[in-house]
Structure 1
Amino acid sequence: MSFFKKLKEKFTTQTESVTEKFRDGLTKTRDNFSNKVNDLVSRYRKVDEEFFEELEEILIQADVGFDTVMDLVEELKKEVKRRNIQDTKDVQSVISEKLVEIYEAGADDDSFQLNIQEDELTVILFVGVNGVGKTTTIAN
């Protein structure tokens, strides 16, 4: 059996375990992010520049990515102004909407398919939040 067939077989058998770890990691990240946003909303009465600055910090700490954070906050500011939102509690749903839009815009069904080349060099990039088992998966 070729190296790549073994690798593909091993990867396939570990997919369920990795998927579960990934979901657990994302659950922790989501819960932590949600708690921070809920805390932010409860501390501010109105939507102002300070609110958006602290939201930026929360998003960056959640590893959203600087450019994405800046684009997201700009979109949020526009949407808050367009909808004339004054209360911070009303911003939570807009944040969710905008995050879903970003996620869906980046979704690509082909990105989940392995493209292992039998007799050629194949490079596999593992990406994920801390603690989801990237190194363990690669080592096994």
Structure 2
Amino acid sequence: TTGYQEKPCLDPLNPACPNTAPNKGSKEPVDVGAHVTGGCYGFAGRYMHWPEHLIVGATTKNKTGHIIRGEALQSIVQLMGSKNLYEYWHDDWRVHNIDWTQDKAGAILDAWMNNFMQKVSSKTEELEEQTRP
């Protein structure tokens, strides 16, 4: 798979947006509703499909059934708990020199979640500013 490298970026002008993103450099806002209507595929697209109700809640849909507004992003983004993450990596040579523990796995997940929520919140505020009269 290509991971998320071929998925659209929330901010296509962000330098971290991969060159392979379909909207790289675009000034058009991403229609997130179109991408999550009916669910969407994760980084392993052939194996992972996120159902719509696990991604966004309290949706408003147009006549064709596409999401035009969602009131809440669901918090089911985390793929693993700290125990699963620890067990997944504990035999990998890349963690042998860092005293890999379940607590460290939990700290990584917490940091990722905080960073993710910060980016979502920041983007939400930015979009709200753009749509205010």
TM-score, normalized by the shorter chain, greater than 0.5:
no
Pick the structure with more helix per residue: 1
Structure ID, larger Rg: 1
Pick the structure with more strand per residue: 2
